[in-house]
Amino acid sequence: MLTKSSTELVRQRNSVLVLAALRRHGLLAHTELSDFTGLSSATISAITADLEKARVIEKSEQQAASGRGRPRVQFRQRRDCGYLIVVIISSDGVQYSLVDYAGKLIDRFSEERSHDPAGAARFVTAIREGLERILSRSRIGRENVMLISISSKGLVNPDAAVLTWSPIFGSERIDFEAMLRPDWQTRIILDNETLLVAAALGAREEAAHPDGLRSLTALSLGHSIGLGIVRRTAPGEREISAPNFGHMLHVPNGGLCRCGSRGCIEAYAGFYAILRMAFEVPDDTIPAKFVPLGELDKIAARARQGHRMSAFAFRQAGIALGNGLSRLLSLTERMPVVITGQGTRYYDLLQQGIAEGLAQSHMVRMEGMPELRVELDEQLLVFEGHLNRALSVIDADIVRAGLT
């Protein structure tokens, strides 16, 4: 019995390897699958036959350019095997995307978010309505949705799909698993948004430089401050985490943060903090839950024109970020830092402060500045992170369900 169970586990693992290779490289022939997975030709034949029979993958034949000889057989995921819904929750809206099993985007729309005091209850209702809307627009049955993947800034419990703290709703927990049952019987997962950004950046780096990625940090700037870390643990394997960087202590008993504590990095580097400092508002003023981007643009324009307090607000934000990064890198290792989020539009104003904050670290003085680079399209990174994570989960679920 033990031997049979062990054999089945190996079979499942090998099937997941085949599906992962197809996800990463696209249309592949039999020999290419063997090369990418390290599995024998016989094992590949058995797995692809089972996956094709279960209507998880399909094959296509490509005639040789010369028109002679046997056609080249290649495999790919069946697009209609099932569907994924991606829900990206941001400070000012919610984006819904419908994706097929091959990872192709079918439909997408966004809705603005309400910021009224009764927002949590209304928000839950809006999420339900948004899920119904994306299905009805594409005329896809609820039973064909394999997974709903949700992301948000804040603290999440990924095992239970519970948002335990968020910049908008504070400590008001949102249990996505409970709120969508019994209408939705599909699997529901929840991730921190910046963790997904780090995951996408790590996947990009590893694809471009298979032996080059060791570790990388993603720093997201905006209404809140997020951070994700990706470390390579073995070839093709990565460890990803999202420490609560924005609420690390920057100044003891300092400015009031949205989390209720004083002196957090976010209380100096978040959009509300920059607004507060630029207008010389007392730092114990209750932070605004949401600051329109246009307001920050006005402050940035004044800073670029030489307005002292506006420039000082961005510089202080940069110092808080640099100090936090220096502590992080001292505890981990020197690694590249990729800066993303809406705040990248002010990077020219933050850059000097970030360098100044980092330079105060002994580690940086000894080993030099880490590589700092900017990625402007954070939304694309979040979506890529969703696809990488969710479709891998779907593949594993299909295999475990015994379809192979």
Residue 124: name the closest of 179, 185, 191 by CA: 179
- Name the architecture of domain 2-77: Orthogonal Bundle (1.10)
pLDDT digits 0-9 by tens, 149-165: 999 999 999 888 999 99
Residue 285 C-beta-side C-alpha neighbours within 13 Å: 15
pLDDT tier at 118, thresholds 50, 70, 90: low
**pTM of the complete model:** 0.90
Task: Say yes or no to pLDDT of 262 above 60.
Answer: yes
332 vs 229: CA distance, rounded Å: 10
CATH architecture observed for domain 197-378: 2-Layer Sandwich (3.30)
Residue type, 71: P
Q: Quick check: 150 and 137 in contact, CB under 8 A?
A: no
Residue 215 has pLDDT above 80, yes or no: yes
- pLDDT (average), residues 289-312: 94
Residue 210 has pLDDT above 80, yes or no: no
* Selected residue with higher pLDDT from 332 and 347: 347
Does pLDDT of 143 surpass 50?
yes
% of the chain residues with pLDDT over 70: 94
Residues 6+ away with beta carbon under 8 Å from 369: 355, 358, 359
Q: Using DSSP bridges, classify how beta strands 215-220 and 162-165 pair: parallel, antiparallel or unpaired.
A: unpaired
Residue ranges, CATH 3.30.420.40, the chain: 81-195+381-400, 197-378
Report the distance separating Cα 397 and Cα 391, nearest Å.
10
Residue ranges, comma separated, of all CATH 1.10.10.10 domains in the chain are 2-77
* Residue pLDDT, tens place only, 23-52: 888 889 989 999 988 999 999 999 999 999
Check residues 158 and 385 and name the one with the higher pLDDT: 385
Instruction: Output the six-digit token pair for 1.
Output: 């019995």
Give the fold, CATH level 3, of 81-195+381-400.
Nucleotidyltransferase; domain 5 (3.30.420)
pLDDT of residue 401: 83
Alpha helical stretches, state H, 26-40 = 30-37
Q: Quick one: pLDDT at residue 213?
A: 73
Q: How far apart are CA 229 and CA 216, in angstroms?
A: 6
Is there a contact between 254 and 262 (Cβ–Cβ < 8 Å)?
A: yes
Q: What is the dihedral of CA 23, 28, 34, 37, to 10 degrees?
A: -10
What gap in Å lies between CA 217 and CA 87, rounded to an integer?
24
Q: Average pLDDT of the chain?
A: 90
What is the per-residue pLDDT across 52-98, written as a single tens digit (0 to 9) for each?
Answer: 999 999 988 776 555 565 677 899 999 999 999 999 998 888 999 99
Mean pLDDT across the stretch 132-148?
Answer: 94
